Amino acid sequence: MTTKAGLDGVIAADTVLSEVDGEGGHLIVRGFSLDELVGRRPFEEVLALLLADFFEGLPGLDLKRSLGEARAEVFAIVERRRTAFADLPPFDAMRALIASIPDGDDLQTALQLLAAPAVFVSAAIRLRAGREPIRPDTTLGHSADFLRTLRGSSAHEGDVAALDQYLVTVADHGLNASTFAARVVASTHAGLTSCVIAALSALKGPLHGGAPGPVLDMLDAIGTAGNAQSWIEAALARGDRLMGFGHRIYRVRDPRANALRGALKALMGARGRTDERLALAEAVEQTALALLRREKPGRSLDTNVEFYTALLLEALEIPRAAFTCVFAVGRVGGWIAHAREQTLNGRLIRPLSRYIGPQPKAA
């Protein structure tokens, strides 16, 4: 009996939700390629696509409106508990507030969990900065309302479109670490809040959803395109991992990197300006790819979703400390869909471990 470290290559679930083609660099979500969704379907429509068949009452529901109403419902939790989390970092505050949503497997619980990350992260950021949280507007789309409650004023439609494209891009992605965590908990029939809390905790780490903040730290440290070669060589010589590069499944460029680069360029176009930060990032990316090929010749390391996530969220003026929270705003629909699929069709997930410790002394 051998151990598959990292469960590499192990298929642990059948799913109708998404397919990640790591060799070809394609992502399919419920029968649509990423290109057919990003910039073509609003986030709410992609949520409806992901959740289809998993909840009674979903067919025919106006999800934009129901999500707006759910935002207003969970905002009541902010009002009740505002002093309890004002000092916590945004991710921890968001997770603590989500944990207070009663567990359940019904559509109402799902809607509150879908709404919660956007509401709680805006409130947490504002409270930490000594500002008042802003009440959700139930008539707005999720992206528009998130930016409005975060900034305190209505966002330009180019900004809303860019955020919406981001949320669609990250909505689901096979059996990544956070989704697997959600499915493990769902397999015990614990309830959707428990599944989302498990997923959030897995997402937080820098090898998964915690990478985009450090991508910007890297760009700041490099400073100019001329410094990229020496800085990256030194980082690789130390054995550091370059944030925003490499992936367990993709052996080619992550298709989400291109989708987000496109969204960023469209945002810059809508604002009518070129972006020096983007020019620096593209230079750093090219240097990093060349050096990764040279230093890790046996391994196909390419740009992953987090590199352009960092640039897009920075351009949208989202604080660096909240990047992973915004990932959760987009991914929570995927977690809930996977959790429901697991509960309805799956079996308790209970793999084996191989004991390599000492045996008891013979009596």
Q: Is 285 labeled as catalytic in the residue annotation? A: no
* Residue 175 bridge partners (DSSP): 173
Smallest gap, in angstroms, from Cβ of residue 246 to ligand ACO? 2
Q: How are beta strands 32-33 and 18-21 bridged, if at all?
A: unpaired
Smallest gap, in angstroms, from Cβ of residue 50 to ligand ACO? 17
CB nearer ligand ACO, residue 131 or residue 296? 296
The phi, psi pair for 122, rounded to 5°, reads: -60, -45
Smallest gap, in angstroms, from Cβ of residue 43 to ligand ACO? 18
Token code pair at residue 363:
């009596």
Nearest to 247 by CA among 295, 201, 305: 305
Smallest gap, in angstroms, from Cβ of residue 254 to ligand ACO? 7
> 310 in helix, strand or coil?
helix
Q: Which residue is nearest to ligand ACO (CB)?
A: 246
CB nearer ligand ACO, residue 130 or residue 239? 239
Nearest to 339 by CA among 170, 109, 119: 109
- 44, 73, 142, 247: the catalytic one is 247
- Judged by the rule CB under 6 A, the positions of this chain that interact with ligand ACO are 6, 176, 207-209, 211, 241-248, 296, 299, 301, 304-306
CB nearer ligand ACO, residue 63 or residue 318? 318
Residues 6+ apart with CB under 8 A from 362: none
Cα→Cα distances 258→162, 164, 305, Å: 13, 15, 8
**How far apart, in whole angstroms, are the C-alpha atoms of residue 243 and residue 97?**
29
- 44, 285, 306, 341: the catalytic one is 306
CB nearer ligand ACO, residue 238 or residue 354? 238
Active site residues: 247, 306
